Amino acid sequence: MDFASCSLRHSVTGPISTTITTTAPITIVAIIICHRTYFNYNYDHCSNHNRRHHHSVNFSGDLPFPVSNPAIWLVREDTSLSVEVFVFGWLFQMTTVEGYGACLREQALQFPRPNCKDRCPRQCTKRTVRWRSPRAAILPDLHLPMRSLEVKNRTSTDDIKSLRLITACKTPYLPDGRFDLEAYDALLNRQIENGVEGVIVGGTTGEGQLMSWHEHIMLIGHTVNCFGGSIKVIGNTGSNSTREAIHASEQGFAVGMHAALHINPYYGKTSTEGMISHFNCVLSMGPSIIYNVPSRTGQDIPPHIIQAVSQSDNLAGVKECVGNDRVEQYTNQGIVVWSGNDDQCHDARWNHGATGVISVTSNLVPGLMRELMFGGKNPSLNAKLLSLMDWLFFEPNPIGLNTALAQLGVVRPVFRLPYVPLPKAKREEFVKLVKQIGRENFIGERDVQVLDDDDFILVSRY
């Protein structure tokens, strides 16, 4: 049996394509991503049997996330065997049936063979093959990403409700503006080592607003694949478009996130009934945290809206940025609340009943933030950290965090515009804060330093 394999290159915005050269007539079996098959197969068969066969293969479709060097297996015609395709860390199994079928649970696909009795026609011909519903056996034991109609809760809502320290994680960049996954993985490892229980991926702190949805879902999938067994992964899949929020949440749960973070519709604000309808739609997707931050959205989520949607079993709780009076109001009603304000989180946790905090500061000092959430009332530690928190939010988040991490040497000093670093006076102030709190309490191993303006890279296109 002759077979060959090839690597495909990918484009985030266009179809995947490649040209394959092999010594035997072949049938392209499939490439499967998130339960979908993408293909537009142009078969170009040359006349001489001894010549090599050139096959132009185009896989196109609305890819849910960028694919890094997927492998596609090519098999000889009239061969019935199982085929394994590795795409972005997932193992997909397919079976060729009667030489031309490819089947999946609940969604079978078929690739008809080129209608060519003579394997080597005297003249080169081109044929375009489109899929049609197949007659294929069902493979009952496939392990595939979860679909919207399947059970997708890899963790229970109660597991999310119990989290006390969640970090809104920073997304680091390479000099060309792409994700620096090596630095990102190091950041996540430090969070896990210091006892952080959950991470928000692609939130405001992680600059999800500067990502394409392809990047967004890819980063969620990467985080789940690498760290999902050690920390809860909460993907920021909220949007001011209900349709977009549903679609992003479906994809986020498909790649394995444990819960979603949902904002209320911003800029194009809606009515009270509109917010209730929006949240009811997105809550149906899986465990979710509702995020109320009027300073960014321009619209408060009043308590009666949270009360209206709290009947959903998928509501894990609320990230509340209005203040501790609102926090206490929710806890008195039995609704789980995380403080969204680092400077108020100590009092929210120990005086007003908050479960914990979704924190920006824990990117820098995760061990101290864990002590603040787990160690009982500690006014002295809280006072010690307040100066750092004030510095972090001197300008809109994540400007301060990005500057701090760069000066600690744990990420490259790369900013995606419109964010720019803090002025040099504030950068010098940060070095003094690190020395006051203790360098050993901050992440990273290098000495903190004051970066010059020329050290920073500002990226406008990426």
Measure Cα distances from 376 to 346, 347, 355, 373 in Å. 9, 11, 13, 7
Q: Which of 265, 218, 221, 216 is nearest to 237 (CA)?
A: 216
C-alpha dihedral (261, 265, 270, 273), degrees to nearest 10: -10
Cis check: omega of the bond before 418, within 30 degrees of 0: yes
C-alpha dihedral (147, 153, 155, 161), degrees to nearest 10: 130
**Beta carbons within 8 Å of 175's beta carbon, 6+ residues apart:** 412, 414, 457, 459
CA 297 to chain centre: 22
* pLDDT mean over 330-359: 98
The whole-model pTM stands at 0.70
Q: Which of 363, 386, 389, 401 is nearest to 200 (CA)?
A: 363
DSSP letter, residue 141: T
pLDDT value for 223: 97
Q: Rounded distance, CA 259 to CA 153, Å?
A: 8
The overall average pLDDT reported for the chain is 78
pLDDT value for 155: 77
- Residue 308: pLDDT above 80? yes
* pLDDT mean over 7-26: 40
pLDDT tens for 448-459 read 999 999 999 999
pLDDT band for position 278 (50/70/90)?
very high
Report DSSP letters for 40-104, one per residue.
EEEEEE-S-TTSPEEEEEEE-S--SS---S-EEEEEETT---EEEEEETTEEEEEE-STTTEE--
> Above pLDDT 90, what percent of the chain?
66
pLDDT value for 401: 98
How many CB atoms are closer than 10 A to CB 379?
Answer: 10
207 vs 12 pLDDT, higher one = 207
pLDDT value for 181: 97
Q: Rounded distance, CA 171 to CA 183, Å?
A: 9
Q: Rounded distance, CA 75 to CA 361, Å?
A: 53
Residue 419 burial (10 A CB sphere; 0-12, 13-18, 19+)? middle
Q: For domain 157-375, is the CATH number 3.40.718.10?
A: no
Report DSSP letters for 10-31, one per residue.
--SSS-EEEEEEESS-EEE---
Q: Which of 337, 291, 292 is nearest to 317 (CA)?
A: 337
> Above pLDDT 70, what percent of the chain?
67
- Residue 30: pLDDT above 90? no
Whether residue 156 contacts residue 442, with contact meaning beta carbons closer than 8 Å, is answered with: no
Residues noted as catalytic: 291, 319
Least confident of 26-35, 111-120, 289-298, 376-385: 26-35
- Residue 317: pLDDT above 50? yes
pLDDT band for position 154 (50/70/90)?
low
pLDDT value for 206: 98
- Residue 77: pLDDT above 90? no
pLDDT tens for 427-442 read 999 999 999 999 999 9
* pLDDT mean over 24-35: 39
Residue 302 burial (10 A CB sphere; 0-12, 13-18, 19+)? middle
* pLDDT mean over 410-414: 98
- Residue 133: pLDDT above 60? no
pLDDT value for 73: 38
249 vs 20 pLDDT, higher one = 249
Structure tokens, 14: 């266009």
pLDDT value for 117: 44
